[in-house]
Amino acid sequence: MNIDLTGKTAVITGGNIGIGKAFSLALARCGATVVATYFTSDFEEFAEPGQTIYGLPLDATDSAQVNKVMAEAAELLGGKIDILINNAGGLLGRVLTSEMSDEHFHNVMNVNFSSTFYCTRAVLSHMPEGGRIVNLSSLAAHDGGGNGSVIYSASKAAVIGFTRGMAKELGGRRITVNALAPGFIANTTFHNTFTPDAVQEAIISKTPLGRGGTPDDVANAALYLVSDMGCFITGELMEVNGGLYFA
């Protein structure tokens, strides 16, 4: 079955690099018109021929800015946002709890969890009945993550609880709310910055499928959830980890 998102509109936060870029391209290839927000790096046109991917700058940790940009995105997209993928997030740094500043704690919680809350709240006035929301959690929410990532793990666990609560709250509007929990996704800025090569190799050696994941692996899971095939799935956490962890 081919996934057809023709006529659908989507916003992907952090949608210009890494996994976010894979989300943007995957949805656009299926016919959706996409707004990809960006913050840590400039937006460079990456839409393929026949696709429409707009770029809008957004600090997803700024509540007022989120409200403004979601309204701008809805206007660009013809007045509605059918799909929201809350992808913005990051580790920001490996810091032991005993050495962690209040600033680091709040920054990590804000970029991973507050951003998800702000963007979800803001999109609801623009999302029609039957919309789709996909939030990005992480394998770290299950296993505590690597050294120095306690607050990152906690923020991603918060995303899971938020996902399940919102699934109940929005069920009456037939809006589904699900989450993805990627495991080790290779060749991304996240792991290239924070995970030494030896650790990456060790993770792959423990992965039953024998390789690291790719951004497209995560994007393909999202496609299922935002398509008609996923219309009766809500409040779920989909594991994308090659068998490294079984929920």
Question: Mind telling me the catalytic residues?
Answer: 152
B/e letters for 65-89, b = 16+ CB within 10 Å, e = fewer, are: ebbebbeebbebbeeebbbbbbbbb
User: Which one, of 179, 167, 83, lies nearest residue 136 by Cα?
Assistant: 179
Backbone angles phi, psi at 120, to 5 degrees: -65, -50
The dihedral sign for the CA sequence 224, 225, 227, 228? positive
In the sheet with 53-57, reading across from the earlier edge strand, the strands are: 53-57, 33-38, 9-12, 83-86, 132-136, 176-182, 237-240
